[in-house]
Structure 1
């Protein structure tokens, strides 16, 4: 089947094509194709055709195994498709079995037209149209949307390359076969200066030594061991088993530290500089630009592209946080692999392994790239690397650049591919002191932003800390956690109310989400199942409000897959539909004491309190018994944090276990308590 333009509704098919589509529809479609099966069972072309005709109008096809299947087709496309299909294929259906395919098409188009008119939606705003796979999803709208976001945001997309084994292997196997990632700058501190549109950098996976597991395989392996270790902890009944448990916990913690270290030093390297946020102090940004531009002028790099300049600004602006080796390696790739392909084609000579028919410069060998660089710039690549390495050294060693190390930055929003979502991006050393949130795609981000646009101030959702609600230990089997967290909220959040040691009624759970400024859940999982049975029938999606949701259970914000080939989903999806601007929780299994330390620290930093002693200074020797000591001297000056994402970052330091700290992530919009 021929290629088509994915941004148009005008797709013309031949008769055999329609016949093929209907045959696939009858013979191959699964019983409930509402996930990847719906998209993938007959390849990219059919995936495109199905996606193009999805909307909100349900109709149940006749035929075997279709009782759970709802095909959705926009009115104009439906009539074009059905009329044209019947006309084109009726003459080429030879057998009775083939002729029966026409039963899937309406006999009376005019009657269907009148019926469908009742379902025509009212005119929708762009952010709702954009959520649909339609002609609204085009490049012009995409660029328009990026310009509507707050100027303070840095939006970075992390994507895994397409892997055809998705269609052939179980998820647990093909997810470990990622050989690289695509890092796309959508908005960035330096893109306006270079007048460049969004662009992508491909970052190859790190090279492993003999006997080492690839990074992806190691991460998933240690998560399985972490789950098994915590799951079996309840059965420990002697000192030897308990000692072995702690030994395994320590080993798991060392392994997650190693994963983060490899991510930062060997995998991303200097490219991690692209994940950083915009400087709050614009003078620092201008200072970096001037320093790099001076080097470009002095060395005569007149042919550097806007992309190369943008990459160099980011790299050298973060050089104070990077090693010399990370910087030099990245400079080499920027200068050789991100230049002008047309210029390289003009000077590329014959090579056994390289061809002028290349698509991307990284397809060429380093020898050819170095030779082309010299011909274009009239000096060798070693001198080029030295030129910008000298700038990095000046920044790293110069006293006038010390402010760069602790410079405050605006929020970073990571759009993370489902294949990469398990990685603890926020705990990379270059990011762990910055306000960072994550979300699944630009569509969700745009919809959530437009939902709360009137409350966004300087790039943050302006929140209130007045009304707090909580649900603590609703399953009644985490007694010590209940004692700890109930004593904390009664001390620090005295005006809050909620349920302790009992499940809330569904209607009350929804009311908590709808009316509170902050909602705390302490229990197993994410707690959203307590909304089932509410009168609205929609679960947590039936709530509506502005709450910041903090869910402290195991895997409370992880993406999970139901059996089969369904797409991943998480509690945060449902809460975002309910208008929660941000959801904070855990990526994997955690233990209650360490999580209680993190969550109580987070709330004590973010939520104003009349408590007499800072929570950090409160005596906690008997905290697991529900007792705290307040008649002690304040150890240090209380330093609150009204930026919720920065409070999350600081709260990670409340536990000595990296496995616990790196599990904590925020999903959604940046949130900050409104200035009085």
Structure 2
């Protein structure tokens, strides 16, 4: 019986073109094959096959999203083939299908080559396996180990790879659980403390402090010295200086390293000191280059080779200071499904930096290729702040929000809808014909424009969803990947979505909305504030606008999904 089953399995595999279950997993990537990718990636790492490991782990990200996007492309192709007036399928459509279906290592590396050389992609993959990849609703796994791959893009991409262990201290083993608990308590605080103002503000302050502790634990107890891998790449001049400094240090110590070790070493010594960043949260965080060097070499921090190497690093302090103070390129975070709910943008090395998220490398390359090949796209043209549309309080039950924002929207000169539900056609028209679409109301607006309808639109606009949990990804029963309306916008080719990871307070969010809208239109903020001279980079503008929020929970909730885009403004 076993032999017959094996024969049947082999016949099925041969018809698909696979020689083994592992081959099948690569031919038909899905959330259910995550364990296979992780196991084979671990084998690759044992023999230092960094590119193979990166490729295998990239196949664990957003496979359901890829399938949804491929379904859209199939429908588009089928519609054109049945339309006599339509021309044959353009090369771009075929190219997009290949990008999403890339399952070969060389094809994965080509995706990095296609991206702009001033982008840095950081892929963070959870090492969890088995039941942890099929979570039940309300069941949160413990804090996992991580695989971090930091990728420079462009014609000659590099991949720097490092594993990060599960935190060992009892107090930080439940980072993922703690965030979920904070979110749940934050969600019900209005109901539990209605009319009890003193208790309400005390509880809100407690939740604020707990979220600060979570972010600090992410940096200090989990990522530790490998926080340095999350930072964006340097501009060519500073990168060349860093390479020269590295060469001198290794030459002085008569030490040789593998290519991956050299990249890790450069990340360690080139990372800014957190104590020199503004903000009380970073105060007292010790970024230990010496501990990182010891981990890199597999030696004790007291060993002679670590002491000598660290001494050589200190001798280059003047040059390293220039690197630490240099501007950094934008970062695109590709975050695994089980850790996507965490506020990665608030970790000290990313705070106040241009950071966006994408569900996978394939979706990033797909979206970039689509917009880069279209001369009228806002990625190519830039975002025109005079072309916008707004929906303000469509349920007509947020009078204070309307009062705070009505003048701001009036001054923008945009058309919009206030205290009235938009129709599907109004929603679609705004997404396809405007450069900016701003929704201010409850949730993500999916009650007016469901995700399945959004997916049928070809979205031009940058979308601001200023509602509670508007870009949250949530589990759906035993479906192995979380979903949210933000993914529907990506299926609709939306270049960039800005929203909230969890529930937020209206006053804080309204202040953020007002300052963001003013900054997008080139208006200067208060003297001495981060938005006094608003940047053209939208992701950087969002990062700086967080300072407007009074509550840390609101700052940590703000999130950008999509491509790094820039705003057109005569004043910039």
Which residue does the alignment assign to 2:504? 590
Paired residues for 1:9-408 under 5 Å:
14-15=7-8, 40=32, 124-132=93-101, 136-166=102-132, 170-173=136-139, 175-187=140-152, 197-209=158-170, 214-232=174-192, 236-237=194-195, 241-280=196-235, 282-302=236-256, 304-321=257-274, 326-336=288-298, 382-394=303-315, 398=318, 401-408=320-327
Out of 415, 425, 433, the residue aligned to residue 352 of structure 2 is 433
Which residue does the alignment assign to 1:486? 406
Would the aligned equivalents of 1:584 and 1:664 in 2 still touch at CA under 8 Å?
Answer: yes
1:456-502 deviations in Å (ceiling 9; x for gaps)? 999977322221100010011111111112222223x1x11100111
1-structure distance, mates of 2:337, 2:241? 37
Q: Does 1:475 align with 2:401?
A: no
1-structure distance, mates of 2:363, 2:425? 27
> In structure 2, the residue corresponding to 1:165 is in which secondary structure?
helix
1:521-559 deviations in Å (ceiling 9; x for gaps)? 000111133135xxxx95122332421101010110111
Q: Does 1:448 align with 2:367?
A: yes
> In structure 2, the residue corresponding to 1:293 is in which secondary structure?
helix
Which ranges in structure 1 are unaligned for 5 or more consecutive residues?
Answer: 3-11, 22-35, 59-71, 73-119, 337-368, 371-379, 618-633
Which ranges in structure 2 are unaligned for 5 or more consecutive residues?
Answer: 15-27, 38-58, 75-87, 276-284
2-structure distance, mates of 1:602, 1:42? 39
Which residue does the alignment assign to 2:282? none
**Larger RCO: 1 or 2 (CA < 8 Å, sep 6+):** 2
Would the aligned equivalents of 1:599 and 1:651 in 2 still touch at CA under 8 Å?
Answer: no
CA RMSD of aligned residues (A): 3.8
2-structure distance, mates of 1:20, 1:587? 41
Q: How big is the shift at 1:201?
A: 1.0
Q: Does 1:608 align with 2:522?
A: yes
Paired residues for 1:570-581 under 5 Å:
570-581=484-495
- CA spacing shift, 1:152–1:212, aligned 2, 3 Å: closer
1:99-139 deviations in Å (ceiling 9; x for gaps)? xxxxxxxxxxxxxxxxxxxxx9987523322324xxx4211
Q: Does 1:518 align with 2:436?
A: yes
Out of 413, 433, 447, the residue aligned to residue 529 of structure 1 is 447
Runs of 4+ in 1 over 3 A off after TM superposition: 16-21, 38-45, 120-124, 166-169, 230-233, 319-325, 391-396, 400-406, 454-461, 614-617, 634-638
- CA spacing shift, 1:171–1:636, aligned 2, 3 Å: closer
Q: Number of residues paired by the alignment?
A: 502
> In structure 2, the residue corresponding to 1:390 is in which secondary structure?
helix
With normalisation by structure 1, the TM-score equals 0.67
Would the aligned equivalents of 1:319 and 1:327 in 2 still touch at CA under 8 Å?
Answer: no
Which deviates further from its counterpart, 421-430 or 538-547?
Answer: 538-547
Q: How big is the shift at 1:640?
A: 2.4
Would the aligned equivalents of 2:253 and 2:309 in 1 still touch at CA under 8 Å?
Answer: no
- CA spacing shift, 1:42–1:566, aligned 2, 3 Å: closer
1:371-402 deviations in Å (ceiling 9; x for gaps)? xxxxxxxxx97222223323444566x4x654
Q: How big is the shift at 1:41?
A: 11
Which deviates further from its counterpart, 665-674 or 454-463?
Answer: 454-463
1-structure distance, mates of 2:103, 2:191? 44
1-structure distance, mates of 2:312, 2:467? 47
> In structure 2, the residue corresponding to 1:125 is in which secondary structure?
helix
> In structure 1, the residue corresponding to 2:138 is in which secondary structure?
helix
2-structure distance, mates of 1:669, 1:531? 23
Q: Does 1:568 align with 2:482?
A: yes
1:22-69 deviations in Å (ceiling 9; x for gaps)? xxxxxxxxxxxxxx9x96499969xx9xx99x989x9xxxxxxxxxxx
Q: Give the structure with higher Rg (CA).
A: 1
- CA spacing shift, 1:635–1:227, aligned 2, 3 Å: closer
- CA spacing shift, 1:262–1:538, aligned 2, 3 Å: closer
> In structure 2, the residue corresponding to 1:407 is in which secondary structure?
coil
> In structure 2, the residue corresponding to 1:530 is in which secondary structure?
coil
With normalisation by structure 2, the TM-score equals 0.78
Which residue does the alignment assign to 1:629? none
1-structure distance, mates of 2:467, 2:67? 35
1:630-649 deviations in Å (ceiling 9; x for gaps)? xxxx9999412211011101
- CA spacing shift, 1:393–1:409, aligned 2, 3 Å: same
